[in-house]
Amino acid sequence: MMGIQQAYQCLFLGAVLILALLIIISMIRSVLGPRVADRIIAVNMIGTMTIMIIAILSVYFEENYLVDICLIYAMISFLGVVVLCKVYTGVYLRDKNMEANMEAVEDNLSQQKQEVHDYYENE
Amino acid sequence: MAWQWYRFGAASLCLVTGIVFMILAVFGVNRFHKALNRMHAAAMGDTLGILFVFLGLILVRGISFDSLKLFLVILFFWMASPVSGHMVSRLEAMTDEELGELLVIRRSRRIKAKEGEDSPEDRGESQAER
């Protein structure tokens, strides 16, 4: 009969392998993604799965300090997503020569709403 | 010794559930076509996947200081994930000029066309879209 230690090791190893496969798939998506937002979403998900892998490995190797690394990785991943969003918003607004405020978003959304309304009207 | 196997069963159930949620999230991100639809699938992995995987690890670890840290990671993710999702959606709403062409709107238009006059042109158009 398999010991409990071996059972835990098989479980963690399988989980880490599946997560590694999923990371490769979302890396492909982050390369393929047609828009910047798709890439940022894929990179955010890669970060999530990396955090899971680090947490599983901390239990697998019984190393307690890996949990701290996991916590810090979560913070840095969040910071990276926020900075990427800010940077790409700034790049887009600089190309369009606009101010970085919420009025730009509302203007864009109202314009699209007007376009959809016109589309219905023409039908 | 039996309770250890019970604990192993509960932990493996939680872990497998979390992994299944992550598989569904990756599947959804690859399957949807628009960034705002993809965010829906990705947010599910960020909340439920993290919750179940870390719950399984907490069950393995038992009550200790590391379990508290793992719980803190869950708490941090549940606070940070909506914020980053909001940032990404704002970026998408600001930069996408064809947001009005979402699939939802097209489908509602198709339903409207079916309910209204049922001319063959509309039907052919809706079939071509599909």
Q: List pLDDT tens digits, range B58-115.
A: 998 888 888 899 999 999 999 999 999 998 888 888 787 766 655 554 555 566 666 6
What are the distances in angstroms from CA B122 to CA A46, A64, B12, B104, B116?
A: 43, 63, 52, 17, 10
Q: How many CA atoms lie within 13 A of B32 on its CB side?
A: 20
CA pair distance A61, A58, nearest whole angstrom: 6
Q: How many CA atoms lie within 13 A of A77 on its CB side?
A: 26
Domain match, B73 and B104 both: no
| pLDDT-based confidence at residue A58 (cuts at 50, 70, 90) | very high
The domain tally of chain B equals 2
Residue B29 sits in the same domain as residue B54: yes
C-beta atoms surrounding A38 within 10 Å: 23
The whole-number average pLDDT for the span B8-36 is: 90
Minimum mean pLDDT range among A15-24, A88-97, B114-123: B114-123
Q: Cβ–Cβ of A41/B105 closer than 8 Å?
A: no
Q: pTM for this structure?
A: 0.76
Give me the pLDDT at residue A63, please. 85
Residues B86 and B110 in one domain: no
Q: In the predicted model, is pLDDT for residue B119 greater than 50?
A: no
C-beta atoms of B45 and A120 within 8 A: no
| Contact between residue B52 and residue B22 where contact means Cβ atoms under 8 Å apart | no
pLDDT attached to residue A103: 66
Of chain A, the percentage scoring pLDDT greater than 90 comes to 45
What value does the mean pLDDT take over residues A63-71?
90
Interface of B with A in 13-72 (CB under 8 A): 15-16, 18-19, 22-23, 25-26, 29-30, 35, 38-39, 42, 45-46, 49-50, 53-54, 57, 60-61, 65-66, 69-70, 72
Cα-based torsion angle of the residue sequence B9, A14, B57, A9 in order, rounded to the nearest 10 degrees = 80
Read off the amino acid at residue B13.
L
* Spacing of C-alpha B55 from chain mean position: 18
Question: Where are the alpha helices (H) located in chain A, listed in sequence order?
Answer: 4-32, 36-60, 65-96, 102-122
Neighbours of A1 (CB within 10 A): 5
Exposed, middle or buried, B22 (CB in 10 Å: 0-12/13-18/19+)? buried
pLDDT at site B124: 44
Half-sphere exposure of B61 (CA within 13 A, CB side): 26
- Same domain for B83 and B37: yes
Residues of B in contact with A48 (CB under 8 A): 22, 45-46, 49-50, 77
Q: Indicate the DSSP class of residue A61.
A: T
Q: Which domain holds residue B103?
A: 98-130
DSSP for residue A16: H
Residue A105 reports pLDDT greater than 80:
no
Claim to verify: residue B31 and residue B56 sit in the same structural domain: yes
**B40 CB burial (10 A radius; 0-12, 13-18, 19+):** middle
Lowest mean pLDDT of A75-79, B34-38, B53-57, name the range.
Answer: B34-38
Q: Residue A20: is its pLDDT beyond 90? A: yes
Is residue B30 domain-shared with residue B69, that is, in the same domain? yes
Chain A contact for B95 (CB, 8 A cutoff): yes
Angle, helices B50-61 vs B2-31, to 10°: value is 160
- Residue A14's pLDDT band, with cuts at 50, 70 and 90, is very high
Tens of pLDDT along B71-82? 999 999 999 999
C-beta atoms of B4 and A4 within 8 A: yes
- Domain locations in chain A as residue ranges: 4-122
Across the interface, whether the CB atoms of B70 and A86 are under 8 A apart is answered no
A94 pLDDT exceeds 50?
A: yes
CB-CB neighbours of B108 under 10 Å: 12
* B48 and B76 fall within a common domain: yes
Q: In this predicted structure, what is the pLDDT of residue B130?
A: 39
Question: Minimal Cα–Cα distance from B48 to chain A, Å?
Answer: 11
Asked if residue B111 and residue B53 are part of one domain, the reply reads no
Say what the pLDDT of residue B129 is: 43
Whether residues B19 and B74 fall in one domain: yes
Kindly state whether residues B126 and B72 are assigned to the same domain.
no
Asked whether the CA dihedral B110, B111, B113, B117 is positive or negative, the reply is: positive
pLDDT computed for residue B116 by the predictor: 59
- The yes/no answer to whether this complex scores an ipTM above 0.90 is no
**Pair (B92, B109) in one structural domain:** no
CA pair distance B68, B84, nearest whole angstrom:
24
What integer pLDDT is reported at residue B109 of this predicted model? Answer: 57
Indicate the pLDDT class of residue A48, thresholds 50, 70 and 90: very high
Cα distance from N-terminal residue to C-terminal residue, chain B:
58
Is the Cα dihedral A53, A59, A61, A67 positive or negative?
A: positive
Residues B91 and B102 in one domain: no
